[in-house]
Structures are given as C-alpha cells and as structure tokens.
Amino acid sequence: MSARVLVGVKRVIDYAVKIRVKPDKTGVVTDGVKHSMNPFCEIAIEEAVRLKEKKLIKEVIAVSCGPQQSQETIRTALAMGADRGIHVDVSGKDYENLGPLQVSKILAALAKKEDVRLIILGKQAIDDDCNQTGQMTAALLDWPQGTFASQVDFQEDSLKVEREIDGGLETIKIKMPAVVTADLRLNEPRYATLPNIMKAKKKKIDTVKPSDLGVDLSSQLEVLSVEEPSQRQAGVKVETVEDLIKKLRDSGRI
C-alpha cells in the first residue's frame, strides 16, 4: 500500500509529576517541569508503526505543534519507528491559546499538503482532557472518524474499527481517508531501543509555520482562572455512638 499516515503527538507534562497551579491562577507551572509525550499519542504512534511493519502503509509522519521543545517529542516518535517528523512552530501567546480547534485546522492543512490517507491521534491529551482534536479534524476534512478505537483492522479502502463506548464495544466500518483516535487498550507502546534512538537522530524533522499552511490561530476562548481542587477535609474520629449522633445533628446532617 502506498498510504501515508499522519500521527499527531503532543508534548505534555509527564503524568508522574505533581502538578502545581501558578500563584497568579493563570495556569499551571510548566517551567522546569518534566514533559513527555502524551500517553495516548504514544499508543497512536505504536499503532501506526505496527501498520507499517505489517506493510499495510508506506510512511509514518509524526507531527507536533508547539515551541522548540516539541522537537524532542517528535524525536521520541522517530525513535519508536516514525519515518519523518514535522514540527509546526508555535510559541509565546499563540502557544498559550493553542487549543483543539487550532490544532485540527493545522492537521487538516497538513493532511491535504502531504496527501495523507489516515490520521491517527490520541483520544485526548492528559493536560486539557479535551477529546476534541480528532473529531474536529475529521469534520474540517469531511472525513469519517473512528474514535476511542480499541482495535483497528485494515481492509483495502476501508477500516473496521472497534470502539469503546459507554455501553460496551461498537464495531464500525469507515471508508478511507479517515481519522482514528486511539484509546488505552488499542496496544501497548514499545520502549524506544538504543539502536532505534541512534537511527532517529538521522531522521528528518521539517519545521513549518502555521501561516505557511494558511491557518489562523486566533482563539474564541479565554481562560479566566485556574485553581486547585479544594483540599480534602480531615476526618473526625468519635469515641461513642452518642458522640456520632450528636456530631451528625450539630452539622445538620440528620
């Protein structure tokens, strides 16, 4: 197959890190904090690389939108088996306002430019939990979508996608070109091994600007404040049942 696959990878704060809210409540502290690839994006890359290993697709392109550091995330994708990378350079105020709508416009433009047959994304990012980029990209391109995929079967011009939904599992057949978003059980991402890490250093990463793709990054949303969830109150221990009833009455519970 001569198909090209575009995989979006997002650089997010590593999930093992303790999140701190900035004192001015404008957002979360990101300076000096460990970042890594969004876990669902790892699953997306793994799926794309497996398709390539099965010789069902020809080329895997990893894309990331963000500042200079996003290139590290693309390198990780290359080390996992992607063929080349595209870094869409977005920084400063534009990066702060970058949301699913802007990213989906970028991905749609790139998909047309690179003549892509399949876009695989993670179902959501662990920093914003939006779960919108895949769906918006499909809508902008007017392509079918298979979201929350836990299994993807390639069938000539179409895909059989098994989706995880509230009621259980739903299997749909969608024609290509299409957008698929990866859910947790789609696969277990591989570790990037040393020989591949070394090879990845030689793979190409192109840098483009959103303006080159004709994309407008303006946002209709404004973040008013970001706050920590309220602290959990300490429990109270009582000695007797009478004490318990008295405490419940005092606090108006009974």
Partner 1 sequence: MMIQKSFHLFRSICKKWKKCHLVMPSCSFTKIGCFHHDLVKWSSARYFHHNQRWQAETPRSHSTSLHRFPFAMVTEHDIDFFEKLLPRQAITDPDVLESYNVDWLKSVKGSSKLLLRPQTTEEISHILRYCNERNLAVCPQGGNTGLVGGSVPVFDEIILSTSLMNKVLSFDTVSGVLVCQAGCVLEDLNSFVEENGFAMPLDLGAKGSCQIGGNVSTNAGGLRLLRYGSLRGTVLGLEVVLANGKVLNLLSSLRKDNTGYDVKQLFIGSEGTLGVITAVSILCPCKPKAVNVAFLGCSTIQQLLQTFRCCKGMLGEILSAFEFLDSACMQLLQNHLKLTNPITESPFYILIETSGSNANHDEEKLHNFLQHAMNTALITDGTMAKEDSKIKALWMLRERITEALLHDGYTYKYDISVPVEHIYQAVQDMRVQLRDQAKSVVGYGHLGDGNLHLNITSPFYDSALHSLIEPFIYEWTAKHHGSISAEHGLGLKKRNYIHYSKPAEAVYIMSHLKNMLDPKKILNPYKTLPDYIS
Binding flag, residue 127, partner 1 (CB under 8 A): no
- Provide, rounded to whole angstroms, the least separation between the CB of residue 197 and partner 1: 7
- Provide, rounded to whole angstroms, the least separation between the CB of residue 14 and partner 1: 5
Binding flag, residue 198, partner 1 (CB under 8 A): yes
Query: Of these, 92, 167, 168, 195, which contacts partner 1 (CB under 8 A)?
Result: 195
Binding flag, residue 236, partner 1 (CB under 8 A): no
How far apart, in Å, are the Cα atoms of 143 and each of 116, 139, 176, 243? 12, 6, 8, 64
Among candidates 226, 227, 140, 123, which has minimal Cα distance to 180? 123
Binding flag, residue 188, partner 1 (CB under 8 A): yes
Distance CA 111, CA 106 (A): 9
Count of C-beta atoms within a 10 Å radius of residue 205: 17
Among candidates 156, 164, 82, which has minimal Cα distance to 131? 164
Nearer to partner 1, 32 or 252 (CB): 32
Query: Of these, 142, 191, 202, 235, which contacts partner 1 (CB under 8 A)?
Result: 191
Q: Is the peptide bond before 39 cis (omega within 30 degrees of 0)?
A: no
Binding flag, residue 181, partner 1 (CB under 8 A): no
Distance CA 179, CA 65 (A): 18
Residues 11-70 that bind partner 1 (CB under 8 A): 14-17, 32, 34-36, 39
**Which residues sit at the interface with partner 1, rule CB under 8 A?**
14-17, 32, 34-36, 39, 188, 190-195, 197-198
